[in-house]
């Protein structure tokens, strides 16, 4: 895809920021402590990355989906976990609010998130409801002017460091997915507690854990959208989220390719650079092809959405292909690096661990296949 001058500038700014701010020292410290530096997050907010596609009236930059994808790609090319923070605000935090939030809710919750002042997590997954998200058991029972929420959410990105959560509940359990409603819950309310942060393979620096609700009383005014419309809200949000994960996958894959080309030119065996061996050069060619194909699919999904030409399969195809391709590219990057690829001093080791979740979160590859096939066979 040929980008406009405006989009090329967005790419340039994001790339320069990533290369300047996500230094080896910053990334190593993040891995060691499990905490992403707050000062870097504040810089990301000031530059506008945290609200790149949020309307200006709510504290964002008012960019389109392609602008968001470009920022995600360039940030993730250097740091996958930094990409998670960009994705959080522009996708799973803002998506439900932009789809169904009242003006009061948008001002109260979305604007501070876009400015980097507050964090909002997306609480859908439960211990017994992962890919089968419609099987959630968390309930919200009507009680006067309030609702009482009980249940447990798991694998929630940024749960422990968030100020609010968009929580999907069953308000009418007998209606199945048509009985799901969403609420914006202040995580400081009585009855809210957090599970321990999970010890993860990758994406270290953004905690993942449980959210536990025990008789949590919320006002009916905290319902997001209409009662019984939570399922539609969640699925439309995840559609945008899949584009973001496709871009994150693309960025990490490009980073793996960059590192591999550099290493193959510098590393010598048998008296010459390993890039001169056909086995290595053909692996690089395969990697470049997968990255190029991923880029076209991800950019196309964003461009279609910006043009108002909804393709029900575009985001799923982009996420499915790019995430799988990224895992293949990262594996080849480690192989090209040989023993050094298995050592933490080399960036491809971290990228290899980070990308493994891309085929799992925001809809596994198998769920994407179900979505794609389902739309084809309607």
CATH number at residue 209: 2.40.110.10
- Residue 142 has a pLDDT of 95
If one counts the domains in the chain, the total is: 3
Q: What letters, b where the CB count within 10 A reaches 16 and e where it falls short, cover 224-237?
A: bbebebbbbbbeeb
Residues 25 and 99 grouped into a single domain: yes
In this predicted structure, the answer to whether residue 312 has a pLDDT above a threshold of 90 is no
Q: What is the CA radius of gyration of the chain?
A: 21
Rounded to whole angstroms, what are the CA distances from 130 to 48, 213, 233, 299, 367?
32, 18, 17, 28, 11
Domain boundary among 228, 257, 279: 228
Residues 107 and 134 grouped into a single domain: no
Residues 372 and 240 grouped into a single domain: yes
In this predicted structure, the answer to whether residue 283 has a pLDDT above a threshold of 90 is yes
Q: What is the mean pLDDT of residues 38-51?
A: 96
Residues 269 and 322 grouped into a single domain: yes
Residue 196: partners with Cβ closer than 8 Å, 6 or more residues away: 209, 210
Domain boundary among 81, 99, 114: 114
Band the pLDDT of 124: cuts 50, 70, 90.
very high
**CA distance linking residue 63 with residue 40, whole number of Å:** 21
In this predicted structure, the answer to whether residue 1 has a pLDDT above a threshold of 90 is no
Q: What is the mean pLDDT of residues 125-154?
A: 96
Residue 143: partners with Cβ closer than 8 Å, 6 or more residues away: 217
Backbone angles phi, psi at 216, to 5 degrees: -85, 120
- Residue 243 has a pLDDT of 96
pTM of structure: 0.96
* Average confidence score pLDDT of the chain: 97
Band the pLDDT of 64: cuts 50, 70, 90.
very high
- Residue 278 has a pLDDT of 98
Lowest mean pLDDT, pick from 119-123, 237-241, 260-264, 300-304: 237-241
Which residues are the active-site residues?
362
Residues 157 and 281 grouped into a single domain: no
Residues 313 and 342 grouped into a single domain: yes
User: How many Cβ atoms are within 10 Å of 313's Cβ, its own excluded?
Assistant: 16
Residues 153 and 197 grouped into a single domain: yes
Residues 17 and 77 grouped into a single domain: yes
Q: What is the mean pLDDT of residues 67-83?
A: 98
CATH number at residue 10: 1.10.540.10
In this predicted structure, the answer to whether residue 250 has a pLDDT above a threshold of 90 is yes
Q: For 155-209, how does the pLDDT look when each residue is reduced to its tens digit (9 = 90+)? A: 999 999 999 999 999 999 999 999 999 999 999 999 999 999 999 999 999 999 9
Host domain of residue 41: 5-114
- Residue 100 has a pLDDT of 96
Band the pLDDT of 98: cuts 50, 70, 90.
very high
Q: For 197-239, how does the pLDDT look when each residue is reduced to its tens digit (9 = 90+)? A: 999 999 999 999 999 999 999 999 999 999 999 999 999 999 8
Residues 107 and 17 grouped into a single domain: yes
In this predicted structure, the answer to whether residue 310 has a pLDDT above a threshold of 90 is no
Residues 255 and 369 grouped into a single domain: yes
Q: For 342-373, how does the pLDDT look when each residue is reduced to its tens digit (9 = 90+)? A: 999 999 999 999 999 999 999 999 999 999 99
- Residue 43 has a pLDDT of 97
Band the pLDDT of 101: cuts 50, 70, 90.
very high
Place of tokens 């739309």: 375
- Residue 261 has a pLDDT of 98
- Residue 230 has a pLDDT of 97
- Residue 63 has a pLDDT of 97
Using a pLDDT cut of 70, give the percent of the chain over it: 100
- Residue 305 has a pLDDT of 95
Residues 144 and 130 grouped into a single domain: yes
Tokens found for residue 36: 């992403």
Q: What is the mean pLDDT of residues 332-340?
A: 98
- Residue 104 has a pLDDT of 95
In this predicted structure, the answer to whether residue 267 has a pLDDT above a threshold of 90 is yes
- Residue 378 has a pLDDT of 87
Domain boundary among 98, 114, 130: 114
Residues 222 and 237 grouped into a single domain: no
CATH number at residue 277: 1.20.140.10
Q: What is the mean pLDDT of residues 19-24?
A: 97
Q: What is the mean pLDDT of residues 113-140?
A: 96
């Amino acid at each position: 895809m040929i980008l406009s001058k405006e989009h090329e500038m967005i790419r340039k700014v994001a790339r320069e920021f990533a290369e300047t701010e996500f230094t080896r020292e910053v990334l190593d410290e993040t891995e060691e402590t499990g905490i992403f530096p707050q000062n870097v997050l504040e810089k990301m907010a000031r530059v506008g990355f945290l609200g790149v596609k949020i309307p200006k009236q709510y504290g964002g930059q008012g960019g389109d989906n392609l602008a968001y994808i470009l920022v995600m790609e360039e940030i993730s090319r250097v740091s996958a976990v930094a990409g998670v923070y960009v994705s959080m605000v522009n996708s799973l935090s803002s998506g439900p609010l932009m789809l169904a939030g009242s003006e009061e809710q948008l001002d109260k919750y979305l604007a501070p998130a876009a400015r980097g002042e507050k964090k909002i997590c997306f609480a859908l997954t439960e211990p017994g409801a992962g890919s089968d998200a419609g099987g959630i058991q968390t309930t919200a029972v009507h009680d006067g002017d309030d609702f009482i929420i009980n249940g447990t959410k798991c694998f929630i990105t940024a749960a422990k460091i968030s100020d609010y959560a968009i929580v999907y509940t069953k308000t009418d359990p007998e209606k199945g997915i048509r009985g799901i409603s969403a609420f914006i819950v202040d995580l400081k309310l009585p009855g809210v507690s957090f599970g321990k942060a999970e010890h993860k393979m990758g994406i270290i620096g953004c905690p993942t854990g449980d959210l536990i609700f025990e008789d949590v009383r919320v006002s009916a005014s905290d319902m997001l959208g209409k009662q019984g419309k939570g399922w539609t809200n969640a699925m439309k949000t995840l559609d945008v989220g899949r584009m973001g994960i496709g871009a994150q996958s693309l960025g990490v894959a490009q980073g793996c390719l960059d590192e591999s080309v550099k290493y193959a030119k510098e590393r010598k065996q048998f008296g010459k650079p390993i890039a001169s061996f056909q086995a290595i050069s053909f692996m690089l060619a395969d990697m470049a092809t997968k990255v190029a194909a991923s880029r076209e699919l991800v950019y196309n999904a964003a461009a279609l959405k910006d043009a108002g030409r909804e393709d029900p399969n575009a985001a799923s195809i982009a996420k499915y292909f790019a995430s799988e391709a990224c895992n293949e590219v990262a594996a080849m990057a480690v192989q090209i690096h040989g023993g050094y690829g298995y050592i933490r001093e080399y960036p491809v080791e971290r990228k290899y661990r980070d990308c493994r979740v891309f085929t799992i979160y925001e809809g596994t590859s198998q769920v994407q296949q179900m979505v794609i096939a389902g739309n084809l066979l309607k």
